[in-house]
Structure 1
């Protein structure tokens, strides 16, 4: 998008009336607009008599009007003295001078975010106010403020403090920051933020007029929201709040996304929690990134495609490297945040340098299957802004339910761990050629994984599963009609023996599973697999991804030998057309 002006902290928004129109912004005072869905961009400098000083937040109303919120630093005035919102009625080409909220000098206003209520086009905005930014004086505090506009951004209500527990002004873990507002289906306004209590939540049920009497605790944030990442000048894991307004099964569900270091300073992860009762109770925390432990994922952002209810996440990711090389990944959830499909969107990795300020966040927007992430990367010594063309209108989306025999524990109705599976789509007619393949992670509790096929057209396919120590298993005779239109297709190998070609499944605890024990992946469980497992058992081999550990408990022992021996005696092998 641009490689000049040291752009960072980007914001991006698709016009739902016309998804060819996309508008973005970045620090300190840039805006970008595209008329061809993000393929090409025009870059301009935003101006206002109030001044323009970073923290861009862009949203759009149902009429297609865009709004650009930002900070100010007026000449001869107070530093970041108010929040200004400018409006564009022509797709981001031109902007008015703007209106403002939160002018309470000499206090400073920071990290604002905007949203629109599609029911009435009300604008809602939350942000952090500092008595004195950077002050360590215990008499100075930070608070969360709210304002709304009911006249398309012409004017704003008096700023209202909505948090009860104040933070300090140091701009660190005990400062209250990260309030991103969203709307519910019945006029609710929701937001959450980080601070000394962890992640807390607040809501209004009357379009922002009144709020809860106290901050509602959501979850801890181990390690705080302000943490270190090698090569990054400053990193944070502030929360993003969003609510499903689609007509899908998760309408009204509230989601909060953040990152933290609960698994250690070298294993930052991306997390999600949700509420299905208006924020009264919250689910268990879910890990969004699906890589093995020990790598860094950070600078997350989340959005909901309100046409489908699907969740999209973007984050920086180092899963593929042992150094500071960094990719940008996305994750997608089509089942209300229960499972996540991760995929890389950056073409090449980059290596950040802590002398370059990346800002505090990336961003992503989505509508009706068109998804546009935006992020900052370092090319040599220059910061650049990038997006990716991610369209889920021409993908085959498969939600697969499978069990691995050795992993499944019927007593607890769960697998010993989640694990990676590779799935092939093969033509349903001879010679059954491979059309496409995808990797996904099957969950240990609901046994499902999401698999996205970018290169397969609509057609009839056999679904073929490959797990590193299980028998290759084909779907039932005749294949499945899969549409390349973004629709999620569900296939369940666990429900019936006939779901596999040749009835090639193992009944265990009332569910059907893939046969375990094909250690060398030659398509048959035989003496060679048994010998390999027996040797590893004798030597007490341990580890997470040991092929002979067919029970998935990280040790090769008699239980593994017994299972492989039984399947070897039964001469279990691949069954295919």
Structure 2
């Protein structure tokens, strides 16, 4: 499904320098479009990235946002602060409550507190995550927002911070949080996902942590998006299906492109609480990354929405319903369906690859090292191959590649296939 709209009609309106501002609904049960989300404050300081969760069971609205003393200020005395407010009917709100004890600056960069997002547990618990100079942060209320932890918890550091660039476009790795409110095996589990540069500045990856005790303890970060060609995966969002307990993580994915500014949108699906994922390419055609919007919603089934820039002033809005009957269409199945090739080769000065492709293609071959994201060697550029059987030789010696373990990635037709080159 695709809809077009213009830049002037963005997803939500945020009045930066006025006391009243509108918040974007990020999670919770479906809310009638006629409902107005506005929070009034006595001060007119800059309010950034407000998010709202609607708890349909208790008819409560939970909003979080960052407040800047002076937006973009570099003065040490100007601070960024995380606030929370609650409403019963979405019209009048409680006085904002500060959730952080550790402050950030106002530069709107890595040392700024950014992206506070709420989620609600089945017992009315409120979980909030954000990111700042100390890393991934967490706050919790067990009485629907009346009282909170004395101070926020630090889950783990975030290498490279939350502010980053992809294709010279400013982007971020801000966290998303969700809770399993199903009656499944992992009921009550709290999940947080984000992306960072732990594995390299040009190798952003998507990570996941979860807690089974309302945030008291967290797992070590789980790498969701590993691919041995070390391309970037970034800007994730997350949702747990309220009926099945399945975990869905959606993110931008450049694994299929050796160069250029194109990207895909990958949906990672876990049916066992985040321990194992299957992967689905949701978009039919590659598109240029342009700080695009995407989201997962749980409304009569899981739906994925995203925006693609078509022209300088026009965007396309796409929506996909994800269920057992539709998801197979998007499954990132074994590349053998498009290319048949041995998946492992022994290192030699010259390696010959015999393979079969389903359709004509131009193939680019690149060698990387599994544990060195910064290492990349282009060995074949846009070699034309035809439907059927083909052969390609890689001269390791001529390319200055010493005996060792490598990954050879073949890029073709907006996809990739990789094989292992083993030292022994």
Match of 1:561 in 2: none
Taking structure 2 as the reference length, the TM-score comes to 0.74
Whole-Å separation in 1 of the counterparts to 2:243 and 2:224: 22
Deviations 1:498-539, CA, capped at 9 Å, x for gaps? xxxxxxxxxxxxxxxxxxxxxxxxxxxxxxxxxxxxxxxxx9
Q: Quote the offset at 1:103 in angstroms.
A: 1.3
Equivalent residues of 1:127, 1:146 under 8 A apart? yes
Cα distance, 1:84 vs. partner? Answer: 3.2
Displacement of 1:555 in angstroms is 3.5
Aligned to 1:297: 233
- Per-residue deviation at 1:139? 1.1
1:389 aligned onto 2:264: no
Decide which structure has greater strand share: 2
Tell me the alpha carbon deviations over residues 339-392 of structure 1, each in whole angstroms, 9 at most, x when there is no partner. Answer: 11111111111234xxx6x36x52111356x33222222224344133232332
1:100 & 1:367 partners in 2: Cα distance? 23
In 2, Cα distance between equivalents of 1:210 and 1:437: 44
Contact 1:345–1:388 (8 Å) recurs in 2: no
Q: Residue 71 in 1 paired to residue 14 in 2?
A: yes
Q: What are the equivalent positions in structure 2 for 1:228-377 lying under 5 Å apart?
A: 228-232=165-169, 234-323=170-259, 324-352=261-289, 358=291, 361-367=293-299, 370-377=301-308
Structure 2 counterpart SS, 1:328: strand
- The equivalent position to 2:139 in structure 1, one of 197, 202, 216, is 202
Residue 309 (structure 2) aligns with: 378
Aligned partners of 1:437 and 1:316: how far apart in 2?
16
The CA deviation at 1:116 is 2.0
* Structure 1 contact 290–340 (Cα < 8 Å) conserved: no
Aligned position for 1:439: 333
One of 542, 547, 562 as aligned partner of 2:404: 542
Are the equivalent residues in 1 in contact too, given 2:195–2:204 (CA < 8 A)? yes
| Structure 1 alignment gaps of length 5 or more | 8-25, 31-55, 57-69, 74-78, 398-435, 442-465, 471-538, 547-551, 558-577
- CA–CA separation in structure 1 for the residues paired with 2:126 and 2:334: 35
Deviations 1:210-237 (A, max 9, x none): 11111201011100000111142x1000
In the other structure, the counterpart of 1:134 is 72
**Number of aligned residues:** 349
Uncovered stretches (5+) of structure 2, i.e. residues with no partner = 336-340, 346-400, 409-418
CA RMSD of aligned residues (A): 3.2
Q: C-alpha distance in 2, partners of 1:553/1:167?
A: 45
Q: Confirm or deny: 8 A CA contact 1:190 1:203 kept in the other structure.
A: yes
Q: Report deviation, 1:253.
A: 0.5
Matches of 1:438 and 1:173, distance apart in 2: 34
**Contact conserved, 1:228 with 1:265, CA < 8 A, in 2?**
no
4+ residue segments displaced more than 6 Å: none
Q: Shift of the alpha carbon at 1:102?
A: 4.8
The question of whether the paired residues in 2 share the 8 Å contact of 1:122 and 1:148 is answered with yes
| Aligned counterparts of 1:541 and 1:313: Cα–Cα separation in 2 | 38
Change over 3 Å in CA distance of 1:86–1:296 after alignment to 2: closer
Which residue does 2:394 correspond to in 1?
none
Alpha-carbon separation, structure 2, partners of 1:318 and 1:86: 28
Superposition map of 1:149-160 within 5 A: 149-150=87-88, 152-160=89-97
Q: Is the 8 A contact 1:101 1:159 kept in 2?
A: no
Separation (CA, whole Å) in 1 of partners of 2:286 and 2:420: 34
User: Aligned-pair distance for 1:81?
Assistant: 2.7
Residue 4 of structure 1 aligns to a residue in which SS?
strand
TM norm structure 1: 0.56
Q: 1:217 to 1:540 in 2, by over 3 A?
A: same
